[in-house]
Amino acid sequence: MNALEIAKYIIAYSEQIGKPVNNIRLQALLYYLQHLFYNDVKYTKDGIFYVPEVYYEYCYQIGYLLINKQIEEKIPTEIKEVVNKYKNIPTWKIIERIVND
């Protein structure tokens, strides 16, 4: 799978459960799923993780909630588990954990 496919699943599932994500939160959730994709990952000088291909796909919506209801196939369980695990944790707290990881 590639990171853009996983991102679309995250966006769709987050929308389904009433917890839509923005690009920053999407990057944070991808951190916990990076073992599923082959794309290059990068870190900012502050240690913040991001996937350039996904970041730039959605960068025009920075700060806005992402919506993608066009997923027809079943969303993989592992993606659902990660989204559910972090759905009630503020984005800044997730990023703080990643930076300190």
pLDDT of residue 71: 67
pLDDT of the residue at 65? 80
Q: What angle do CA 49, 37, 73 make, to 5 degrees?
A: 120
Query: Which pLDDT score, from 0 to 100, does residue 73 have?
Result: 76
pLDDT tens per residue, the chain (101 residues)?
Answer: 899 999 999 999 999 899 999 999 999 999 999 999 988 898 888 888 889 999 999 888 766 788 776 666 788 999 999 999 999 999 999 999 998 88
Q: Collapsing DSSP states into helix, strand and coil, what is residue 89?
A: coil
Three-state SS sequence of 3-55: HHHHHHHHHHHHHHCCCCCCHHHHHHHHHCCHHHCCCCCEECCCCCEECHHHH
